[in-house]
Structure 1
């Protein structure tokens, strides 16, 4: 195997900002930001939006997604199906 073809595999801290959780692992991910870890070393840190600490599947807590008005916006833009079609669903023969 050619050594110059492999990506750099190094220690990286992944941090879930919403849950306040961070863990040290090895990865090929890179970052310009760094963090001082518990062992006194400085590692690159990659911020993630969701991890096992904040994911609803693992925590059992559902997240509320603001979907108010989505159907109303759709009907306003494209019209409702009940207004576009005649009763009976088709041509009278």
Structure 2
């Protein structure tokens, strides 16, 4: 490897969504920094198999309002 072209690789603290912590090595931040996860294997549906509807910024409500009439037929 060429000297001086690689980022600093150091220990950081990871805080999971349930509050558990562990130390890993990363290029993130400075040595000893803390990375707080919003989504992790204990809470994400891809790993847990439990689906939840998260409405961030009203996107689901906006979709439902826009496409409410699709699939319904008017009488007559």
Q: TM-score range by the shorter chain?
A: 0.5 to 0.7
What is the RMSD computed on CA atoms of the aligned residues? 2.8
Structure holding more strand per residue: 1
* Higher Rg of the two aligned structures: 1
TM-score (norm 1): 0.54
Cα offset, 1:60, TM superposition: 2.6
**Unaligned ranges ≥5, structure 2:** 72-76
CA distance in 1, matches of 2:42, 2:28: 20
More helix by share: 1
Q: Distance in 2 between matches of 1:81 and 1:53?
A: 37
Residue 12 of structure 2 is matched in structure 1 by 12
Alpha-carbon distance in structure 1 between the residues aligned to 2:42 and 2:63: 30
**Pairing 1:23–2:22 present:** yes
Write the mapping of 1:46-85 to structure 2, written as runs, cut at 5 A.
46-66=35-55, 67-72=60-65, 74=66
- Residue 48 and residue 58 in structure 1: after superposition, are their counterparts in 2 closer, same or farther (change >3 A)? same
Q: Deviations over 1:5-57 (max 9, x none)?
A: 010001111212x32232211100115xx8xxxxxxxx211112111121112
| Partner Cα distance (2:23, 2:2) in 1 | 28
CA distance in 2, matches of 1:69, 1:44: 38
Unaligned stretches of 5+ residues in structure 1: 35-42, 83-93
Matched, 1:44 2:33: yes
